[in-house]
Structure 1
Amino acid sequence: MTRILFVCTGNTCRSPMAEAILKSEKIPGLEVKSAGVYATNGAPASLHVQQILEEEKIGHSHQSSMLTEEMVDWSTYILTMTEGHKYSVLSMFPNAQGKVFTLKEFAGQKINSDIHDPYGGSLETYRKTYTDIREHINKIIEKLAVSEIFREEEDGGKEEEV
C-alpha cells in the first residue's frame, strides 16, 4: 500500500485540491490524505476550490487537518506545495527525512518547485493552480505506476498478504 500525504499551509486550497485530484483517479493500492502545517481542524475547502472540483466533476468532502506525527508515520510520501512547507515538515518531524518532497520535485521538476498559493485570489487564479497541480499529479501517477511494476517484478508478481 502506498500512502501519499499532501501538505500546504492551511489545508483549505492546494493540498485539498491535490488530494481530491489523486483520489479521483481511484488507483488500487493507493491511499491519499492532506493536511496543513498551520491548519485549524475542521475548516472546509475554500469556495473556489469547491467550485473548481465541481466543474471538474471531482467529488470531494473536505475538512482541514493540522499535520500530526500520526499522519507523518502513516505516509509513504509527503508531498508539499512549496519548499517552505517541505522545510517546515522536516523541522517539525525530523523522522520524515527521506519521504518529504515538493509535489513538483517528486514529479521530476528540478527548479521552481513551488505551487502558487491562490489564497485570496480570483477564481481564475485558483484554476491556474488547479491546472498546475493536475499536471504534476499526472506525472507522479506515471512515476508510481512504474515503481509499482518494478515492485511486482521483484515480488515475482505476488501480492503481499496483510
Structure 2
Amino acid sequence: MKKVLFLCTGNSCRSQMAEGLLRHLGGDNFEVFSAGVMSIGVNSLAIKVMDEIGVNISAQGSKSIKEFLGQQFDYAITLCDDAKEACPVFPGECKGLHWSLDDPAKANDIGEERVVVFRRIRDQIKSHIDLFLKKNRT
C-alpha cells in the first residue's frame, strides 16, 4: 500500500478534493492524507461538488502540515505554488510531485458561477489522479 500526502495552502479545497478522489478511485492500494500550510476548515463548496460525483468528503478534517512532520510517505503531492515552497522534506523514499492548480476559494465569481469554478478544479484534480493511478497501479 502506497502512502500519499496532498498539500495546499489551507487544506480546505484542492487537497481535500484530491484526498477524497484518490481514496475513492484508488481503493485499498493507497493510504491517503491531506494537509495545508495552515488549517482553515473544509470549504462547503468543495464538499458540494464532490458529492455531485458520489465522493463524500464531509467527514474529512482540515489539518496542518505540522501534524505530519517526521512521517514517511511514498508521495507528497503539492497542489499550489505556496505549498510547494513550504513543503518540508519527508524522510525515506518520498517522491515529490507538483500539480499547480488555481485556488477555487479565491474566485471572485458568485452563485452558480462560483460552483462552476469548483467543478473545474475538481475535474482537473481528477485528471491528474487518473494519470497518477495509471502510473501507480499495483
Q: TM-score, normalized by length of structure 1? A: 0.72
User: Identity percentage over the alignment?
Assistant: 26
Alpha-carbon distance in structure 2 between the residues aligned to 1:21 and 1:8: 15
User: What residue in structure 2 maps to residue 16 of structure 1?
Assistant: 16
Aligned length: 131
TM superposition shift of 1:97: 8.4
Alpha-carbon distance in structure 2 between the residues aligned to 1:26 and 1:138: 9
Q: Is it true that 1:46 corresponds to 2:43 in the alignment?
A: yes
Report if the CA contact (8 A) 1:24-1:59 is conserved.
no
User: What residue in structure 2 maps to residue 29 of structure 1?
Assistant: 29
Report if the CA contact (8 A) 1:17-1:53 is conserved.
yes
Alpha-carbon distance in structure 1 between the residues aligned to 2:72 and 2:136: 18
User: What residue in structure 2 maps to residue 76 of structure 1?
Assistant: 74
Which stretch shows the higher mean deviation, 55-64 or 125-134? 55-64
Alpha-carbon distance in structure 2 between the residues aligned to 1:55 and 1:17: 12
User: What residue in structure 1 maps to residue 52 of structure 2?
Assistant: 55
Structure 1 residues 50 and 98, CA gap change in structure 2 (3 angstroms): closer
Q: What are the Cα deviations for residues 29-53 of structure 1, in whole angstroms up to 9, with x where unaligned? A: 310010001224xx2x211111101
> Which protein shows a greater Rg?
1
Instruction: Name structure 1 gaps, 5 residues minimum.
Output: 105-113, 149-162
Alpha-carbon distance in structure 1 between the residues aligned to 2:22 and 2:90: 26
User: What residue in structure 1 maps to residue 97 of structure 2?
Assistant: 101
Within the candidate set 117, 125, 130, 2:122 is matched to: 130
Query: How does 1:109-124 map onto structure 2 within 5 Å?
Result: 114-121=100-107, 122-124=114-116
| Paired amino acid for 1:101 | L
Q: TM-score, normalized by length of structure 2? A: 0.84
TM superposition shift of 1:129: 0.5
Q: What are the Cα deviations for residues 74-124 of structure 1, in whole angstroms up to 9, with x where unaligned? A: 32110010233122113xx4758852221x3xxxxxxxxx11111143111
Report if the CA contact (8 A) 1:2-1:31 is conserved.
yes
Instruction: Name structure 2 gaps, 5 residues minimum.
Output: 108-113
Q: What are the Cα deviations for residues 111-152 of structure 1, in whole angstroms up to 9, with x where unaligned? A: xxx11111143111111100110101000000101xx3xxxx
- Structure 1 segments (4+ residues) deviating >4 Å: 94-98
Alpha-carbon distance in structure 2 between the residues aligned to 1:8 and 1:79: 9
Higher RCO (CA-CA < 8 Å; seq separation 6+):
2
